[in-house]
Structure 1
C-alpha cells in the first residue's frame, strides 16, 4: 500500500526565468564554441584555443545546469524527501571544479608556449575574439539579470563562466593588438595564463559556495546566535539547544532545534510562535522544533539545572 506524505513546504523549484535564460545561453554558447575552435586551430592562437576549451566547458556546464533546473521540478518521493533540489548544488560544484581544472591546463600550456612561442594569424585571431566579445557581453547581461530575478547557484556559476569568457575576449583582443605592434608572440601565451588565473578564481569561488552547502554549514546570511536568542525570547521557552541550520538549495533553508519550555505553557503555542518568528524575521519557512522535558529526556548535567529551576 502506498503512503502519502504531506509537505507544508513544496520541495520543488519552478524556475521559468532560469530555464529561458539557460536555453538562450546554451544555444549561443554552442554556436560560438564551434566558431572559436575552428578559429583557434586555423590561427594557431593559444589564447583562442584556451578560450575555446573554456567555452567547451561552458557548454557542458550549461547542460549540467539545465539538468539540475529540470530535476528541481520533480516532486519528493519516499526516497528523496527533499525532492531533487540538492542536484543544483552538485551541478554547481562540478561546474566550479571544471573551471579550476581547465584553468590549470591553460596555465600549464601557457608555460610551454612561452618556452616555444608560435606565430599566430592576428587578423583571424582578432576577428574571432571580437565576435566572442559581443556574444559574451550579451550572455553576461542576460545571466546577470536572471540572478536578480531568481536565486540559483547554477546561474551564478554560469555567470562566472561568462565573466571569464568576457575577460578572455578582451585579453585576446589586447594580445592581438600588442603582438601586431611589438611582434612579441610570447604575449599570446602570457595573456592566456592571465585568463587562466581569472577563470580559476571564479571556479574556486563556486567550489567554495557549493562545498559549504554540501557540508550543511550555516548560511553566511544568518547568525545562529541571533536566531537562538529570538527563539529564547518566545514566551515559555527556557532553553534552546541542538540547533541546526542549513541550505537545501539556493533560497531554500531548513532549521531544526530542541527547546525546554515551562510546565504551564501550551506546547503547540510555542512551536507555532517559533515557526512564525523564523518565517517572518528570517525567511526560514521549513523548521522543525522539538519540545523536550529534562525530566523525561535525559540531558545529563545540562538538563539538571532546568529541573532545579522548575522545582
Structure 2
C-alpha cells in the first residue's frame, strides 16, 4: 500500500516537473536571444540563473525516472546515484558560468554598453510570470520530495533575479546610468556561485561516501553501544547512495547477544533515518585478532 501511493506521488511530481521544465526551457531560449539583442548583461546573467533552474528541474526529473528502475546484478543499489553524478557535473558547469558573468561584468564596468531597456523590461516581466506559475505548480510536492523541494527553491530564487532585472531596467530608463546593468549582473552572479558551490560540495561528499551532512555519527555510535549485550562498536560506516537515502554498516561485539538485538539495532537505525543497515555480531577478541592478522601481513621498513 505504501509503495503504491509512493509511486503515485512520484508520477505526479514527474508530471509537474515536466510542465515546469517546458516553461522554463522555453523562456530560457527567449531570454538568451533578447539578452543579446538588448545588450543587457543583467538579462544574460539572469538567463544563466534560469539555466541553473532548468538544470535542477532536469536533474530532479531524471532522478525520479532513474530511481524507478529496479536494481540488477550490476547495480545492486539501483540507479539513484545517477542523480548525484549529474548534479556534480552540472555544478561544475554552472560554477564556470557564474565566474564568466563576473568577468563580463568587470569588462562592462570598464567599457559600458548601451542597454535597450524596453526589451529588457518586457522579457523580465515575462520571466517573472513564468516563475510565479512554476512555483505554484511545484509548491504542492515540495513538502514530500527533496527533489521537488530543491527545484521549488530554485524557482523561488529566480523570482529574485527577475525582480532585479525589472528594477534595473526601470532605473536605467529614468536615470540613464548604464553601469547599473553590469552591477546587477554581477550581483546575480554572486548569488548563483555560492549555491552552485554548495551543490558541488554536497555531490562530492556523496560520491566519496562521506557521512551525510548534519548526521550525528557520535550519537549513533553511543546509541548502539548502550544496547543490551553490546560491549563495543567498531567499523561503523554511514553513507548515502543518493540524497535522502542513507545506509549503515557496523560490527557489534557481544559475548551473549540477546535474541532481539538485531531488531533493536533496526529500531535505532530508523530513528536516524537510515534506510538500509547491515550488522555483524562478533564475539569479544575477534576484532583484535583480525587486526593482528592484518598487521602481520603488512610490510614495514
User: TM-score under structure 1 normalisation?
Assistant: 0.83
Q: 1:99 aligns with which of 81, 89, 94?
A: 94
Shift of 1:45: 1.4
Q: 1:250 aligns with which of 237, 243, 256?
A: 243
Q: Which residue of 2 aligns with 1:180?
A: 173
CA contact (8 A) 2:141 2:149 kept: no
Q: 2:63 aligns with which of 61, 64, 68?
A: 68
**Mind listing any 5+ residue stretches in structure 1 that lack a counterpart?**
1-9, 302-311
CA contact (8 A) 2:139 2:152 kept: yes
1:33 matched to 2:28? The reply is yes
Render the CA deviation track for 1:235-284: whole Å, top value 9, x for unaligned.
21111111001111222110000011023x34x532222112322x2232
Q: Which residue of 1 aligns with 2:221?
A: 228
Q: Which residue of 2 aligns with 1:289?
A: 279
Q: Which moved more, 1:86-95 or 1:197-206?
A: 86-95
Alignment of structure 1 residues 164-175 onto 2, 5 Å: 164-175=157-168
CA contact (8 A) 1:76 1:84 kept: yes
1:217 matched to 2:207? The reply is no
**Mind listing any 5+ residue stretches in structure 2 that lack a counterpart?**
293-301
3-state SS of paired residue (1:185): coil
CA contact (8 A) 2:53 2:158 kept: no
CA contact (8 A) 2:38 2:116 kept: yes
3-state SS of paired residue (1:99): helix
Identify if the C-alpha distance between structure 1 residues 226 and 296 changes in structure 2 by more than 3 Å, giving closer, same or farther.
closer
Over aligned residues, Cα RMSD in angstroms? Answer: 2.3
CA contact (8 A) 1:65 1:91 kept: no
Shift of 1:160: 5.0
Distance between the aligned counterparts of 1:134 and 1:272, measured in 2? 52
Distance between the aligned counterparts of 2:30 and 2:49, measured in 1? 13
Identify if the C-alpha distance between structure 1 residues 241 and 296 changes in structure 2 by more than 3 Å, giving closer, same or farther.
closer
3-state SS of paired residue (1:78): coil
Q: Which residue of 1 aligns with 2:38?
A: 43
Q: Which residue of 2 aligns with 1:304?
A: none
Distance between the aligned counterparts of 2:84 and 2:47, measured in 1? 25
Task: Name the count of aligned residue pairs.
Answer: 285
Shift of 1:288: 0.6
